[in-house]
Amino acid sequence: MCEFAQKTCGIAHTTQANYSYLCKSMEAKGKILIVDDNEDVLFALNLLLDSYVEKVKVTTQPSRIEHFMKTFEPDVILLDMNFRRDAISGQEGFDCLEQILQIDPQAVVLFMTAYADTEKAVRAIKAGATDFIPKPWEKEKLLATLSSAIKLRESRKEVMQLKERMDALSGQDGDLPEMIGDSEVMQQVFSTIRKLSDTDANILILGENGTGKDLVARSLRFFSPRKDSPFVTIDLGSVPESLFESELFGYEKGAFTDARKSKAGRMEIASGGTLFLDEIGNLSLAMQSKLLTAIEKRKISRLGATSSIPIDVRLICATNANIRQMVEEGNFRQDLLYRINTIEIHIPPLRERGEDILLLADYFLQRYNHKYKKEINGLNREAKQKLLRYSWPGNVRELQHAIERAVILSDASLLKPGDFVFRSQMEKKSELEEILNLEQLEKRAIELALKRCDGNVSQAAELLGVTRYALYRKMEKQNL
């Protein structure tokens, strides 16, 4: 009967000749939970397995199974089929098995029973058990079965981790980002990226909103030794502080109310590759401390977990904030700054890039001609001069939006100055200078930003120099 069950689940018992090898392979591997109402059985198994597995926990109470699964996280559960209520049918064992698989569908459960038969074996395998161990057991077969069960658990963990990584990375673009610029300042940026191609150094990218810090980060990854490994991004400006830990470190099932299943964090998913933390200046001091600990120890713990996970990530961070001023004011940890800025790259604002403005305008024009099926041949001389005179507070992203809007609305073969509606800084100042109340100033600034961005909250937040999450809160406060 036991041989039938073993063949059914694909776990073959080994011969006496392989026994010594299997025992050696089991040393310090696997955590075993044993559930049996017979204390003599528990004592004997605990004594036997102590030398061959990492840890053993025992209990006579099936009601304690859920507690041990959450706190001990066993790799294999040895489960008696018959407890005091019912000595023969094994129904209590099947009830416990159902409970275990509800908690962890990937659990590896080995039934133990002195009343085994073929019908019960088939039912057990169909219900999700991995194998049977008869009572009284043969030491060699017991250890061999446990060794196979521990390996099965390891394989299931690897498959689940791989699935989590694939789900998180689906749609990831591995192509070289298109970065355009002939200006001297941009050539210096390109040169720095090339010099860093053989390193794993942590990089801090500094620049105003809309300058293309994310493109620089992707280029750094593309030319790095980790090109073919994961590239994981997280916009810290859009993640509420309450969700930061679960987003970055992940969580186990049941760690909090809505944690219905375990989830890997971005740092774990990025292990072996690159982690891009955008807008790192938005991190609170408490979260900075947790991030620093993870970087220094190269380990993370999911929320609700009792063990840590080693990580290997190359860190690229970006911010539009004056990070050194933040350090001086006590709003950013100096030790964290040292960790993330082995090399700094400064991205110049668009207003300092000269003729790059026209290069980018032409690039975006071709893109949106194709997207909207237009045949606009370019910009006339006056339109070019208008673009060159404008200060572009929203940088490349603002230029991109301006060109897209012009292409959509224009029916001519050339774009003209009237196709671009800008407000000079003096005009903006004159609209606001008559208002002295701070709340009114804030409300007016938000209204102007939203109007200028055609209601696009993300772009308005960039113009205002705040995160999208912060802008939503301000809009709610101002009843906008």
Give 37-45 contacts, CB < 8 A, sequence gap 24+: 37/80, 37/83, 37/84, 38/80, 41/80, 41/112, 41/135, 45/78
Query: Which residues of the chain carry a pLDDT beneath 70?
Result: 1-28, 84-90, 115-119, 121, 161-175, 423-438
* Residues of the domain holding 455: 423-480
Q: Is residue 451 part of a domain?
A: yes
The answer to whether the beta carbons of residues 308 and 203 sit under 8 Å apart is no
Q: Both 62 and 43 in a single domain?
A: yes
* Closest to 358 in 3D by CA, of 326, 399, 329: 399
Q: Is residue 304 part of a domain?
A: yes
Residues pairing with 55 in the sheet: 31
Q: Is residue 174 part of a domain?
A: no
Of 299, 320, 348, the position where a domain reaches its end is 348
Q: Both 200 and 339 in a single domain?
A: yes
CA distance 47 to 271: 38
The answer to whether the beta carbons of residues 76 and 149 sit under 8 Å apart is yes
Q: Is residue 474 part of a domain?
A: yes
Q: Both 220 and 100 in a single domain?
A: no
Q: What angle do CA 229, 230, 233 make, to 5 degrees?
A: 145
In SS3 terms, the chain reads as CHHHHHHHCCCCCCCHHHHHHHHHHCCCCCEEEEECCCHHHHHHHHHHHCCCCCEEEEECCHHHHHHHHHHCCCCEEEEECCCCCCCCCCHHHHHHHHHHHHHCCCCEEEEEECCCCHHHHHHHHHHCCCEEEECCCCHHHHHHHHHHHHHHHHHHHHHHHHHHHHHHHCCCCCCCCCCCCCCHHHHHHHHHHHHCCCCCCCEEEECCCCCCHHHHHHHHHHCCCCCCCCEEEEECCCCCHHHHHHHHHEECCCCCCCCCCCEECHHHHCCCCEEEEECHHHCCHHHHHHHHHHHHHCEECCECCCCCEECCCEEEEEECCCHHHHHHCCCCCHHHHHHHCCEEEECCCHHHCCCHHHHHHHHHHHHHHHHCCCCCCEECHHHHHHHHHCCCCCHHHHHHHHHHHHHHHCCCCEECHHHCCCCCHHHHHHHHCCCCCHHHHHHHHHHHHHHHCCCCHHHHHHHHCCCHHHHHHHHHHCCC
Q: Both 104 and 25 in a single domain?
A: yes
Of 316, 348, 380, the position where a domain reaches its end is 348
Q: Both 224 and 325 in a single domain?
A: yes
* Residue 29, phi then psi, degrees to nearest 5: -120, 130
CB burial string 85-98: b at 16+ within 10 A, e below: eeeeebebbbebbe
Q: What is the pLDDT of residue 7?
A: 34
Q: How many domains does the chain have?
A: 4
Q: Both 344 and 381 in a single domain?
A: no
The answer to whether the beta carbons of residues 220 and 196 sit under 8 Å apart is yes
Q: Both 386 and 442 in a single domain?
A: no
Q: What is the pLDDT of residue 84?
A: 62
Whole-angstrom CA distances from 36 to 32, 41, 144, 381 are 13, 7, 20, 87
Q: What is the CATH number of the domain that holds 474?
A: 1.10.10
Q: What is the pLDDT of residue 300?
A: 92
Q: Both 148 and 216 in a single domain?
A: no
Q: Both 140 and 241 in a single domain?
A: no
CA distance 68 to 70: 5
Q: What is the CATH number of the domain that holds 64?
A: 3.40.50.2300
Of 163, 192, 224, the position where a domain reaches its end is 163
Q: Both 157 and 223 in a single domain?
A: no
User: Rounded to two decimals, what is the model's pTM?
Assistant: 0.60
Q: Is residue 332 part of a domain?
A: yes
Q: What is the CATH number of the domain that holds 384?
A: 1.10.8.60
Token readout for 278 is 């955008």
Q: Is residue 177 part of a domain?
A: no
Token readout for 415 is 């774009």
Q: Both 339 and 359 in a single domain?
A: no
Strands 250-251 and 263-264: antiparallel
Q: Is residue 386 part of a domain?
A: yes
pLDDT in tens, 38-86: 899 999 999 999 888 889 999 999 889 988 988 888 999 999 887 765 5
Q: What is the CATH number of the domain that holds 339?
A: 3.40.50.300
Token readout for 290 is 């947790």
Q: Both 64 and 159 in a single domain?
A: yes
Q: Is residue 240 part of a domain?
A: yes
CA distance 90 to 253: 29
